Amino acid sequence: MKKIILSPLFCFALLSLHAQDTWNVQMPSFWPYHLGKTNDGNLLLVGRKATVLPGFNKGSHYMIKYNLNGELLWEKEHDFGFSDTSVGQSGGVYAPHTLIQAPSGNFISSGLYNESGVSYCYNFITNEQGDSLFFQKFVSGSVDCISPRYVFISQIYAMRYNQNTGYYSVAEISENLDIVYEVALENSNEYLARSIIDQDLNVYTEKFGGETWVRKYSISGDLQLEETHEEQCSLLAINTEGYLTCYYEGLLQLNSDLSKRWYLPFEDILPSWPPHYISPKVINATSDGGFILGGDASVDPFELVFLAKINENGTKDWGFVYDPFYLSAINTLSDVIETVGGYVLLGRNSFTGTTWLIKVDENGLLSDTNTPAATASASMVSLFPNPASSFINLQFTRPFSGNIQVMDMSGRLLQQQSVDLTNTVILNIGDLPDGMYWVRLNDQATGAYEMLKFVKSLYRK
């Protein structure tokens, strides 16, 4: 039987809150990849939307725009003329990788595309309304593949890897995706690495494998500095003060000479959550010189989402592992960005297949109410049988007073009852459709709550 105990004593809240300056929007079902702010101050999301055909799933490039109040402005779906369903079980757009808005206002995307059993890289340009202007694709691994990632004033830059030479290069490109110039990074064929460009057109590469190797290049490809650090890191960001920061099992910030400026271990970000429970997904700079970071956290039986705000000095402002039902039941995070009055996160519920856009306030909350939190306390109940067809029994280790709820996997309340000083409760689940459900127990005496997962099946053996 799967279970987790929740108590107000835990250091980081599993949030279950709502407030006037926050909102959430359930979007059409799609696989979200990117969330960005547009030049006109709104929000643009890009992902993969699947159309189910007989024996085949066709992927499309999906764009959807919202204003800062969570109101839909427009949505566009592009399949690039894909029609061959004769090879495999899926095809079309596989994964949009990058999204930028060019100085003209056009949007430029890149990603992966499958057709007739062949994998391609693609580039796609739309106008500000998401209407198609240009599409091109090349066989994956081709030297022609390019992913525009950075816009500085009127210039667009991209990093790419040449499989033939083993070198990384930095390229300035036009809005039509023509190469203005391209230079290889000195000695960059020595190892595979992640890369980033700052506003001063310094190029950084980073690789970790026991240690972290960091290099700093000029925009002309000359190697200027090289440094090694014992802390492991992976995701890269540069704050408003220009400091390179990387994020994995902690947060490492470097000075301009690549020496360590500060390091914040993960146990100081989310105490009591061991790093092996944590999957870092995103780090983005905030306007105050700090960072908003997030990812997924696993604690049996839940897959959860966490966020943390770190200031410019490497100190945590706040951090939360969110309750599985109160961020609209999202359990995997795709992106999070700063916006007016808070942060907007893009996520998905893997059980229900729903995608959500959610705004929390500048403290990561959905209201000012005190929040419940997780702890490793012993279970106060056993549940049996599991699976069950008609009834489930709850056997408590001590007399229990409080509220008992049955919910589906999206957190929708199906049954509820209050009990007083009871040792045994029998729940009638005969009318529920076959599937997985939660039982939530709210302990009136301690304020803790416990959650258990069970399976309803008419064919229980």
Question: How many other C-beta atoms can be found within 10 angstroms of the C-beta atom of residue 64?
Answer: 24
**Residue 378 pLDDT:** 53
Least-confidence region, from 342-356, 385-399, 436-450: 436-450
Residue 105 has pLDDT above 50, yes or no: yes
Sign of the Cα pseudo-torsion (51, 109, 66, 364, in order): positive
* CA–CA distance, 63 with 43 (Å, rounded to integer): 11
Would you list the domain boundaries of the chain?
378-456
Instruction: Identify which of 27, 162, 48, 161 has the alpha carbon closest to the alpha carbon of residue 99.
Output: 48
Residue with tokens 């026991």: 210
Instruction: Identify which of 235, 135, 221, 152 has the alpha carbon closest to the alpha carbon of residue 183.
Output: 221
Find out whether 270 and 278 touch, Cβ atoms under 8 Å: yes
**Fold of domain 378-456:** Immunoglobulin-like (2.60.40)
| Identity of the residue numbered 242 | G
Q: Is the pTM of this model over 0.85?
A: no
Find out whether 136 and 147 touch, Cβ atoms under 8 Å: no
Percent of residues, the chain, with pLDDT higher than 70? 88
Chain-centroid distance of CA 34 in Å reads 9
Residue 426 has pLDDT above 60, yes or no: yes
**Residue 11 pLDDT:** 32
Cis peptide before 271 (omega within 30 of 0): no
**Residue 375 pLDDT:** 38
Find out whether 437 and 406 touch, Cβ atoms under 8 Å: yes
Least-confidence region, from 71-80, 99-108, 390-399: 390-399
* CA–CA distance, 37 with 107 (Å, rounded to integer): 12
* CA–CA distance, 7 with 23 (Å, rounded to integer): 26
Per-residue pLDDT of 343-385, as tens digits, reads 999 999 887 788 999 999 999 988 644 443 443 345 678 899 9
Q: Which two tokens stand for residue 427?
A: 């729940």
* CA–CA distance, 264 with 249 (Å, rounded to integer): 9
DSSP helix/strand/coil, 332: strand
Question: How many other C-beta atoms can be found within 10 angstroms of the C-beta atom of residue 275?
Answer: 16
pLDDT, the chain, mean: 87
Per-residue pLDDT of 260-298, as tens digits, reads 999 999 889 887 676 667 889 999 999 999 999 999 987
Residue 449 has pLDDT above 50, yes or no: yes
Question: How many other C-beta atoms can be found within 10 angstroms of the C-beta atom of residue 220?
Answer: 12
At 237, the pLDDT band (50, 70, 90 cuts) reads very high
SS3 content of the chain, % helix, strand, coil (to 5): 0, 60, 40
Least-confidence region, from 10-19, 200-209, 308-317, 339-348: 10-19
Per-residue pLDDT of 44-65, as tens digits, reads 999 999 998 888 999 999 999 9
Angle at 233 between CA 321 and CA 323, to 5 degrees: 5
Per-residue pLDDT of 5-42, as tens digits, reads 333 333 333 443 333 489 999 998 899 999 999 999 99
**Residue 435 pLDDT:** 87
Q: Which helix (H) or strand (E) holds 268?
A: helix 266-269
Compute the half-sphere exposure of residue 148: CA atoms within 13 Å on the CB side of its CA.
27
